[in-house]
Amino acid sequence: MGQASDGNDFFVIKAEENGVNVIGLTRGSDTRFHHSEKLDMGEVMIAQFTEHTSAVKVRGKATIQTKHGEVKSD
């Protein structure tokens, strides 16, 4: 597991339906999808950006909380 880029900066993803996909994108010049996680309704994932992951893509209906606020995906 890599070090978080910013101390305890984490975010929360709560699935609002079954089959929500959380996809991690690699840090660096080529952004590959290196990791996926399937969440079913009500499941919560708490994640951090690390040396390996610089972006996250959420597919499906979910509530995402970051230090910048809350956003909902469809």
Q: Which residues bind other proteins (CB under 8 A)?
A: 21, 23, 30-38, 57, 59
46 vs 70, beta carbon nearer other proteins: 46
Q: How far is the CB of 36 from other proteins (least distance, A)?
A: 4
Q: Rounded to an integer, what is the distance from CA 6 to the centroid of its chain?
A: 15
Neighbouring CB atoms inside 10 A of 22's CB total 20
35 vs 61, beta carbon nearer other proteins: 35
74 vs 59: CA distance, rounded Å? 7
Residue 42 is which amino acid? G
Q: How far is the CB of 46 from other proteins (least distance, A)?
A: 13
